[in-house]
Amino acid sequence: MELVKNETVNQNKWLKLGVNPEDALISKTYFTIAFATLLIGGILGLIQGLERAGLYSLPSGFNYYQVLSAHGLLLLVVFTATFTMGYQLANLSYSFGGLLPIAKKLIWVGIVLKVIGVVMAVTMIVLNEASVLYTFYPPLAAHPIFYFGLVVLVIGIWAVCLAVILNYRHWRKTHPGQTTPILAFFAMGVFILWFFASLGVTIEVFMIIPWVLGITETINVMVTRTLFWWFGHTLVNIWYLVATSAWYIIVPKIIGGKHFNEKLIRLVVILLVILNIPGGFHHQIIDPAISLTIKFLHVFMSLSIAVPSLMTAFAMFYVMEKAGRKKGGKGLFGWFKKLPWNDVRFLAPMIAMIAFIPGGAGGIVNTSNQMNQVIHNTMWVVGHFHITVGVSVVLTFFGICYWLIPHLSKRQLTKRMNKIGVIQTWIWTAGMAIMAFSMHIAGLIGDPRRTSDTTYGGMEAALNWFHYEYIFAAGATLLMIGVIIQVFAVFHMMFFAPKGTTEYPVAEPEEDQPSVPMWTERWGLWSILLLAVVAMAYVIPIVDMIVNAPPGSPPFKTW
Ligand code: HEM
Ligand SMILES: [Cu+2]
């Protein structure tokens, strides 16, 4: 009890502190990069949608795979990473009453390195030297500068991870006997995952660099694919953890409620951190060289994420029902109507949470061995991740913008901007629903993903796909409108909205909660458990891939 009281008192103290201007500049810089990237990535997405439907052809000198490589890398990696970091660092600054000077320096070094790395990689794509798609699977080989860019990017990410860990340790040392504020706890989980996720891809890139430089002749393709998905699958869980931080802690405040039991929230964070990396093989279900038992283990691990997900769903419905009833909602569903549907700060993350239902269901299909055979490498998969990352994650991010950006720039969220946000949310939802639904259906009847021209010389089966490709194009057009509105809203709130203050909506715990246990803060132990689970899932198959390797592959440039 005592602990909880202290916690609440402290939280009130932090509420007054807010994010100081120097730290705000860091987050605003991240958001500027994120939304400039969204604009470019969105335009490329529209081009792909139109090109697949045969409604547009790229000017000579550009090709579909080049555009797709840029779209994937910019949106999947750059947009999500920069938003995640900008938001989590704001949460950290808010919770700790400011970042340490050394942490700030490291973060700025990290930002500069990340920008340099991304510019190197993207320049190679623009020069048509790196149309290897965002997965950059060997034996496809890009220009060495592309991979050097990735190395610089990863070092930039590590600089920020180090900053967060130093800041966290400093806070723990100066606040003995206290548990960290819950948003800072989430941030630690997120950056620990960033660090361990990037280890896999770093080893991969260090295998590729000597190979593209001609120092080694061949490469073990299976090992590189495996290391890529160690990263790729973990990235997905990083977004998920970032989104849940807003669902658990921000949404309850916006709807006038309290957050759920902190012990359960911390357990969800710890489970997500420990369990997630070894799910990578569900992206490689069709790959040879991995035994069925190991694939089964990874499938089991990916499905184990259902446990924290269901805990989250239960907790969120509890919190929402309670808030809705407090506002007078009666009967079985009366509380649902009482939720603030006209408030973009609620509407966007709410639709994001709802989208997690079809998204999760599709994910179970993808990760099941037999069903994966039907949808593997078809447009179904593209439909799936535009629902999960494109709605569940991205709409949560958009929703956060409407309070965080005005808060950081000391401006107001006006009624008009809220309305624009609500309209944007519905346009985005409609666009993604149209595009992703038709992608799912087209995939079920065989339409391949990552393919520019799917007419196959007028083959009958292929003709059936065409209707759906027109529908993708229609969804893509709506989405482009959504991108333009969102980018406008972000920069308007950053630079032009009327001066004033905007609340940082952090929910408080319910009364009479049990104390928050100190053992949850043992990040060293969680990291060791994480590594143990990774070892369980990866040591045997990777050793097997190396010991029983077929001849490796020389590099290929297929474009
Ligand atoms: C304007 C909004 C968007 C449109 C119109 C759009 C459209 C498309 C289309 C048509 C494809 C084609 C696929 C193929 O040939 O396989 C694609 C792929 C992809 N999109 Fe989007 N998308 C949009 C937003 C996003 C967002 C917000 C994200 C992630 C944050 C994203 C991530 C991806 C990824 C990772 C791929 C796969 C790339 C690959 O297979 O290498 N997209 N998108
Ligand atoms: Cu995955």
pLDDT at 421 over 80: yes
Q: Whose CA is nearest to atom 13 of ligand 1?
A: 450
Instruction: Specify whether the CB–CB gap between 485 and 420 falls below 8 A.
Output: yes
Q: Tell which one of 39, 69, 71 to mutate to probe ligand 1, the residue whose CB is within 8 A of the most ligand atoms.
A: 71
pLDDT at 516 over 60: yes
H helix runs in 213-332, sequence order? 221-245, 251-254, 262-275, 292-304, 306-326
What is the 38 CA–ligand 1 centroid distance (Å)?
11
Region 98-126 average pLDDT:
97
CA distance 397 to 360: 19
Q: Which of these, 56, 88, 260, lies nearest to 161 by C-alpha position?
A: 88
What is the 396 CA–ligand 1 centroid distance (Å)?
18
Q: Whose CA is nearest to atom 27 of ligand 1?
A: 390
Q: Which ligand is nearest to the CA of 70?
A: 1
Ligand 1: nearest atom to the Cα of 134: 41
Region 210-221 average pLDDT:
97
241: amino acid identity, one letter: L
pLDDT per residue over 345-375, tens digit each? 999 999 999 999 999 999 999 998 899 999 9
Bridge partner list, 448? 378
Please state, rounded to an integer, the average pLDDT across all residues of the chain.
93
Tell me the CA distances in angstroms from 225 to 221, 238, 245, 497, one per residue in order. Answer: 6, 20, 30, 46
3-state secondary structure of 510: coil
Burial 329-359 (b: 16+ CB within 10 A, else e): beeeeebeebbbeebbbbbbbbbbbebbebb
Q: What is the pLDDT of residue 461?
A: 85
What is the 224 CA–ligand 1 centroid distance (Å)?
23
What is the 244 CA–ligand 1 centroid distance (Å)?
23
What is the 386 CA–ligand 1 centroid distance (Å)?
7
Q: Whose CA is nearest to atom 38 of ligand 1?
A: 72
CA distance 325 to 431: 33
Q: Which of these, 366, 134, 135, 125, lies nearest to 228 by C-alpha position?
A: 135
Q: Tell which one of 386, 398, 454 to mutate to probe ligand 1, the residue whose CB is within 8 A of the most ligand atoms.
A: 386
311: amino acid identity, one letter: M
Region 229-249 average pLDDT:
95
Q: What is the pLDDT of residue 18?
A: 61
Q: Domains of the chain: which residue ranges? A: 340-503
Q: Which of these, 205, 292, 302, lies nearest to 540 by C-alpha position?
A: 292
pLDDT per residue over 36-94, tens digit each? 999 999 999 999 999 998 898 999 889 999 999 999 999 999 999 999 999 999 999 99
Bridge partner list, 411? 499
Look up tokens 């504020």; give the residue. 181
Contacts 24+ apart (CB under 8 A), 461-469: 466/53, 466/54, 468/379, 468/438, 468/439, 468/441, 468/442, 469/52, 469/53, 469/54, 469/442
Q: Whose CA is nearest to atom 31 of ligand 1?
A: 75
Q: Whose CA is nearest to atom 7 of ligand 1?
A: 45
pLDDT per residue over 144-155, tens digit each? 999 999 999 999
pLDDT at 15 over 60: no
pLDDT per residue over 272-322, tens digit each? 999 877 778 889 999 988 888 888 888 888 888 888 888 899 999 999 999
Q: What is the pLDDT of residue 1?
A: 37
Ligand 1: nearest atom to the Cα of 476: 5
CA distance 490 to 406: 9
Q: What is the pLDDT of residue 214?
A: 96
Ligand 1 interacting residues, C-beta cut-off 6 A: 42, 45-46, 48-49, 68, 71-72, 75-76, 79-80, 133-134, 382, 386, 389-390, 394, 449-451, 472, 476, 479-480, 483
Ligand 1: nearest atom to the Cα of 80: 30
Q: Which ligand is nearest to the CA of 389?
A: 1
What is the model's pTM?
A: 0.94
Ligand 1: nearest atom to the Cα of 479: 1
What is the 379 CA–ligand 1 centroid distance (Å)?
11
Q: Whose CA is nearest to atom 15 of ligand 1?
A: 450
pLDDT at 434 over 70: yes
Within a 13 Å sphere around the CA of 105, how many CA atoms are in the beta-carbon half? 4
pLDDT per residue over 184-214, tens digit each? 999 999 999 999 999 999 999 999 999 999 9
pLDDT at 138 over 60: yes
> In the 8-state DSSP scheme, what is residue 55?
S
SS3 content of the chain, % helix, strand, coil (to 5): 75, 0, 25
Bridge partner list, 259? 509
Ligand 1: nearest atom to the Cα of 449: 16
Q: What is the pLDDT of residue 11?
A: 43
Ligand 1: nearest atom to the Cα of 452: 15
CA distance 229 to 559: 24
Q: What is the pLDDT of residue 13?
A: 43
